[in-house]
Chains A and B, each alone.
Chain A
Amino acid sequence: MIGRLRHMLIKEFIQVFRDKRARFFLFGPPIIQMLIFGYAATLEIKHVPTAIVDYDNSQVSRDLISRFTASRYFDVRHRLADSRQIAAVIERGDAVLAIQINAGFARRVRKGQVAHVQVIVDSSNSNTALVGLGYVNEVTGAFAGDYQLETLQRTSPLAIARMPKIVLDRRPWYNTDMSSQWFFVPGVIGNLLLVIVMTLTAFAVVREREIGTLEQIMVTPIRRAEFILGKTIPFFLIGLFDALLISSVGTLWFKVPLRGSLAVLTLGTVLFLFCVLGIGLFISTVSLTQQQAMVTGFFFIMPSIIFSGFGSPISSMPTFLQYLTYINPMRYYQTVLRGIYLKGVGLEALWPHLAAMALIGGVMLTISILRFHKSLE
């Protein structure tokens, strides 16, 4: 048993490392993708391209506009003379927001009347639109507050002292700067491991089926378990190595703190790899060609990432989909990754997630091994 397995492993490693392209594929893309994700995967919305139409052209309106130009959340690119130009600018995508100040704005503000500011927003990206509107609200709110205060100071300074005030003391835990890079980088480790290890495992088995070597090896006395272990152990080890590689990029390059225990992180990664190997093997049992394996792989990758809380929070999903996320190993791994990296929690907080991955991994591997027949049917 051990002898045959050892030779199966030697053969796999020779094959994996002989091909120059395969060698690069194992270690190059993970690092490159980590860098890309680390920089590009962000929820922060900054520098919203903005157009402004100012029909009032007063001291007050200019004062309001300067607050937009001074903010790093807005990038005032267009000062339009005519509101009919707004549509073209937004259609071209040159602006996401358009702010229109009508004539009489300053007069109404000075008289203490309701003064309107119109905001047109391209809400085809609903998230950007929502956040952009929030920023506009904040800027105009602050502007109005300052004006109200000024007016009060002039008319009844005593009232100011009696005005109730509520001040929010913000204490963001774990990620004090609320950097979305810190949020994403640990999560990306999970995504990359899923894509790399699942694809490699599925392809390795399907390739043997496709090129006919599986038929040859099935007539040898090799046992099912030996063949499957021989096929999975190399990718398990490569997966662990890739995890080390990309988490090093996260820690050393992006300076995301690793606050928890490395041992627990390793345990979580091992359990997650069990799940991924199980899925990869499962794909190989339902695919006859590498092309089929690739399509089936996509079918697993997208939902795994979306239903994991990697980007959008699970709590915002419809209830029945939230239940569905419980069978997604990535969900638990994301929790483990962020728990260890940012929160610095350990086994006491993460054991249910580790147990869930152990269970899912065990079930997936068992199903795949049972489905893998040492026959041609």
Chain B
Amino acid sequence: MTGVPYTIEVHELTKSFSGVVAVDHLSFSISKGEIFGLVGPDGAGKTTVMRMLAGVMAPDSGGAVVAGCDVVASPESAKQRLSYMPQRFGLYEDLTVDENIGFYAKIFGVKAAARDERAARLLAAAGMSEFRSRLAGKLSGGMKQKLGLVCALIHTPEVLLLDEPTNGVDPVSRRDFWCILYSLLNEGVTILVTTAYLDEAERCHRIALMHEGRMLFCDTPARLKANLPGAVLSIVTSQPREISERLAGQSGVSSVMIVGDGLHLMVGDAATLIPQLKEIIAAAGLSYESIEQVAPTVEDLFVEAVTGTMRGMEQ
């Protein structure tokens, strides 16, 4: 690990608000050109981490280095080299798309020629070229977020901090958004993104799961799934609630989660458990279409980790 030039290094970062710990001795490192996802439920402390890394909030203790700048000791130093997109749309709704881009370009000291070239390219990628003279307030939710991204990228930052950038954004805009993010990786930009969408988490090189200010685990999605103890069973049924009541708490079943077409169960040994479960369901007079072992998703990981942590706390 030593000697590797990380672009973002977070060490024992801690922050509390009037006695409540929001971020609890958090440490992680992100390499140049990596897209790193910070995943966790609301209130996990994700936004607080982002604000501290962006230099707009001072931590109680711990340190963070972003693009070679110590953002705790000198929060202004990294601002030219990073870009932070807050969760709330933070652009001027009474300025047009072009005026917003122009304003941020000028604040960052981007030359006019570079700005025009870059704005044209980014707007085209975002599918927004024809809306340049529209007021930002008149854009749809997805367009606003894409405009936010364009403004955040206009000064060619080395590090991009995105706080739930696709929250409430339609699927098409979300796809545009991720296309732009992937194209940035080729330019060597390092991206830290928080998301509540677990399908988006799978698109990251590495993800860290945060819960109540602490990191539960951090690795590539593939390795995390491979290391998941036990297996995931999928029961396709039209009676998910009734079945989940019967199966919750059964020995060998560590968690039950209702999904679109039925249930996901986290179990110890799939092969021995499937016949037992079939019997229980049949005995209760309930029906199902299929029970089979499936590959775990990030959502399964996440639910298992959070419920596992809570079980641990109860004991």
Query: A4-B109, A221-B108 known; 11 other A-B pairs, CB under 8 Å?
Result: A3-B106, A7-B106, A11-B103, A14-B95, A212-B86, A212-B89, A213-B92, A217-B107, A222-B107, A375-B75, A377-B57
Chain B residues with CB below 8 A from A15, complex form: 92, 94-95
Chain A residues with CB below 8 A from B145, complex form: none
Smallest beta-carbon distance B19→chain A, Å: 15
Chain B residues with CB below 8 A from A221, complex form: 76, 79-80, 107-109
Q: Is the CB of B107 within 8 A of A374?
A: no
Q: Which of B56-100 contact A (CB under 8 A)?
A: 56-58, 75-76, 79-80, 82-86, 88-95, 99
User: Majority SS of interface residues in chain B?
Assistant: loop
Q: Is the CB of A219 within 8 A of B57?
A: no
Tell me if B104 counts as interface (CB < 8 A to partner A).
yes
Q: Is the CB of B108 within 8 A of A216?
A: no
Q: Is the CB of B107 within 8 A of A212?
A: no
When chains A and B are docked, how far (Å) is the Cα of A8 from the Cα of B103?
8
Tell me if A19 counts as interface (CB < 8 A to partner B).
yes
With contacts A3-B109, A220-B107 taken as known, whether A377 is within 8 angstroms of B91 at the C-beta atoms is: no
Q: Is the CB of A219 within 8 A of B95?
A: no
Q: How many residues of A contact B (CB 8 A)?
A: 25
Chain B residues with CB below 8 A from A40, complex form: none
Chain A residues with CB below 8 A from B75, complex form: 375
Q: Tell me the nearest residue of chain B to A375, going by C-beta.
A: B56
Contact with A along B167-210 (1 / 0, CB 8 A): 00000000000000000000000000000000000000000000
Chain A residues with CB below 8 A from B108, complex form: 220-221
Q: Is the CB of B76 within 8 A of A376?
A: no
When chains A and B are docked, how far (Å) is the Cα of A374 from the Cα of B82?
16
Tell me if A211 counts as interface (CB < 8 A to partner B).
yes
Tell me if A18 counts as interface (CB < 8 A to partner B).
yes
Q: How large is the interface on B (under 10, 10 to 19, 20 to 34, 35 or more residues)?
A: 20 to 34
Tell me if B51 counts as interface (CB < 8 A to partner A).
yes
Q: Is the CB of B79 within 8 A of A376?
A: no
A-B contact pairs, 13 of them (CB 8 A): A14-B95, A15-B94, A15-B95, A213-B90, A215-B88, A215-B90, A217-B90, A218-B56, A219-B82, A221-B76, A222-B107, A374-B76, A376-B56
When chains A and B are docked, how far (Å) is the Cα of A220 from the Cα of B57?
14
Q: Is the CB of B79 within 8 A of A220?
A: yes
When chains A and B are docked, how far (Å) is the Cα of A59 from the Cα of B312?
107
User: Majority SS of interface residues in chain A?
Assistant: helix
Q: Which of A220-271 contact B (CB under 8 A)?
A: 220-222
Q: Is the CB of A219 within 8 A of B83?
A: yes
With contacts A11-B103, A218-B56, A377-B58 taken as known, whether A211 is within 8 angstroms of B83 at the C-beta atoms is: no
When chains A and B are docked, how far (Å) is the Cα of A47 from the Cα of B271?
103
Tell me if B13 counts as interface (CB < 8 A to partner A).
no
Smallest beta-carbon distance A218→chain B, Å: 5
Chain B residues with CB below 8 A from A375, complex form: 56-58, 75
Tell me if B266 counts as interface (CB < 8 A to partner A).
no
Tell me if B143 counts as interface (CB < 8 A to partner A).
no
Chain B residues with CB below 8 A from A7, complex form: 103, 106-107
Q: Is the CB of B86 within 8 A of A216?
A: yes
Chain A residues with CB below 8 A from B88, complex form: 211-212, 215
- Which residue of A4, A8, A14, A215 is within 8 Å of B56 (Cβ)? A215
Contact with B along A350-377 (1 / 0, CB 8 A): 0000000000000000000000001111
Smallest beta-carbon distance B126→chain A, Å: 18
Tell me if B54 counts as interface (CB < 8 A to partner A).
yes
Chain B residues with CB below 8 A from A214, complex form: 90
Q: Is the CB of A219 within 8 A of B103?
A: no
Smallest beta-carbon distance B181→chain A, Å: 18
Q: Is the CB of B91 within 8 A of A213?
A: yes
Contact with B along A273-290 (1 / 0, CB 8 A): 000000000000000000
Tell me if B213 counts as interface (CB < 8 A to partner A).
no
